[in-house]
Structure formats: C-alpha cells, structure tokens
Amino acid sequence: MTFTITWYGHAVLAIETGGFHVLVDPYLIGNPAAAITPDKVAADFILVTHGHGDHVGDTVEIAKRTGATVICNAEISKWMAAKGLKTHAQHIGGGYHHPFGYLKLTLALHGSMLPDGSNGGNPVGLLLTTLDGQKIYMAGDTGLFGDMHLIGEEGIDLAVLPIGDNYTMGPADALRAVKMLQPAHVIPMHYSTFDVIRQDAAAWACQVEQETSAKVHLLKPGESLTLSPIPGMREFAEKQPDRF
Ligand code: NI
Ligand code: MN
C-alpha cells in the first residue's frame, strides 16, 4: 500500500492512504495558491489543525457535500457539529485508531480563534501513523518548540513544515525543526501564498539537504509525493501495537 500526499497550496494537504481520502485544512476559496476547488476535492475525513480562516477554509461546504467526518480539537468539533457536520473530537497528546490510521494530535504554538470569533481551543499538529506504520508529521501553524525532539523520537518518515515566517516558523527555525525531527522526507508549506510569507523555498531546500540527511520535496500546488512502505513494515507494526 502506498501513501500519497498532495499539496494544494498554502496548508492544504490531501492524503490517500488505505483506500481513504484524508483532507487537511481545506482553505480553497480565497486561497490565491489553491490548485483545486471545494466542489471537486475528495474527502472521507477532514482534519482541521486550528480555527483560523486559512485552515478551517471550506471545511463546512466540503463535509456537507462528501459526508466526511471532521477530526479536530473539542472546541472546533463543537462548532462544526452545530453546523450539522459529523465530527470526532480529540485533544493534544491523544491518539485514536481511525480507519485510515492512528492519528495523534500534537502541540503547536499558535492561535486558534474561529472565523466568527468563537473559541477555537488550542491549535494542534498532526502525527499520523498509517496502516503500514509510516509516520507522517504535519506540524500545522506553529513556531519552533523544543518538544519536536519528542516527536522526532517516534521516527518520522515525512514532516510537513511551515516555512513562511511572520505567522509561523520561518526558514531558519524550520531548519532547526528538521534537525530535531530527523525526518527522511520534508515538504515545506505555508509560504508564498501572500507577500508577507514569501520565501525562497529552493534555497531552503538546499540548506536543509546540506545540513541534514532529509530529502526535501518542493511541490508546486497540485503536485504529489508518494511514499512506498518498507516491505514487512505493516506486519511489524501489527506485532507492536504499543509502539504505534
Ligand atoms: Ni493560523
Ligand atoms: Mn495559517
């Protein structure tokens, strides 16, 4: 089974794993970098990292059309449920075995107020262990924090990190994040959507590859990365439920 992740611009990610479509932070309407429209995108589950408009985006419309379950913190879950959506609430440090894999919410240093001013709880990052045992860390909007060491201890196959600066980590701190996380692969996101977060991602990629062993994948909006599982990894994962 392969794992495919598509970057649709800004912080929008679409994952295909285990036969499921998992959409993350679907901000498409109003997103100058969006490479798909809300009426076309597939979703069985929608993960929302925090309440800001450039992450909640078109979640309500897409979930109503597709019937997707929205997975997010308890405060945003309550807000989504009040709009008639199916939700699954989790919180930081908590993991759950969803049909597409084991999803744990992680710390993120940021804000989370919802677009209408409602309390969006705490922002989160996402740590997904696929059914094959691949570990995908999607940091969400966050500043650098030392506990990325703890996340790195889990053995990260792919890290998706913001590099835009101003609202989140910039390139220098994102490089420090890669050094703490030690992922095999990195995708940068949350940059160059707007002038205030414009960055030279190619220069960043060169520096990361010079100073770490991570491989950087510079996707254009709409492009995908596919990771093949290590043979035997799924069997290994199934034998070690506590570890995964
Ligand atoms: Ni934000
Ligand atoms: Mn954002």
Task: Output Rg (C-alpha) for the chain, integer angstroms.
Answer: 17
DSSP sequence for 72-97? EEHHHHHHHHTTT-EEEEE-BT-EEE
CB-hemisphere CA count at 13 Å for 33? 24
What was the pLDDT predicted at 239? 61
Which one, of 58, 79, 80, lies nearest residue 69 by Cα?
A: 80
How far is CA 5 from its chain centroid? 10
Minimum-distance ligand to the CA of 54? 2
Ligand 2: distance of its center to the CA of 203 in Å? 22
CA–centroid distance, residue 142 to ligand 2 (Å): 9
Give the ligand with the smallest distance to the CA of 114. Answer: 1
Expressed in angstroms and rounded, the spacing between residue 235 Cα and the centre of ligand 2 is 37
Looking at domain 3-237, does it have CATH number 2.10.109.10? no
Q: At 231, which helix (H) or strand (E)?
A: none
CA of 131 to the centre of ligand 2 (A): 29
Q: Where are the domains of the chain?
A: 3-237
Consecutive H or E run containing 29: none
- Kindly tell me the sign of the dihedral angle through the C-alpha atoms of 88, 43, 23, 214: positive
Q: Give 190 Cα–ligand 2 centroid separation in angstroms.
A: 7
Is the pTM higher than 0.85? The answer reads yes
Q: What is the reported pLDDT for 1? A: 77
Q: Which two tokens mark 127?
A: 């740590």
Q: In whole angstroms, what is the distance from residue 108 CA to residue 94 CA?
A: 14
| Ligand 2 centroid to residue 141 C-alpha, Å | 6
Nearest ligand to residue 31 Cα: 2
CA 10–ligand 2 middle distance (angstroms): 8
Per-residue pLDDT of the chain (244 residues; tens, 9 = 90+): 789 999 999 999 999 999 999 999 999 999 999 999 999 999 999 999 999 999 999 999 999 999 999 999 999 999 999 999 999 999 999 999 999 999 999 999 999 999 999 999 999 999 999 999 999 999 999 999 999 999 999 999 999 999 999 999 999 999 999 999 999 999 999 999 999 999 999 999 999 999 999 999 999 999 999 998 776 665 665 565 554 4
Compute, in angstroms, the gap from residue 237 CA to the centroid of ligand 2.
Answer: 33
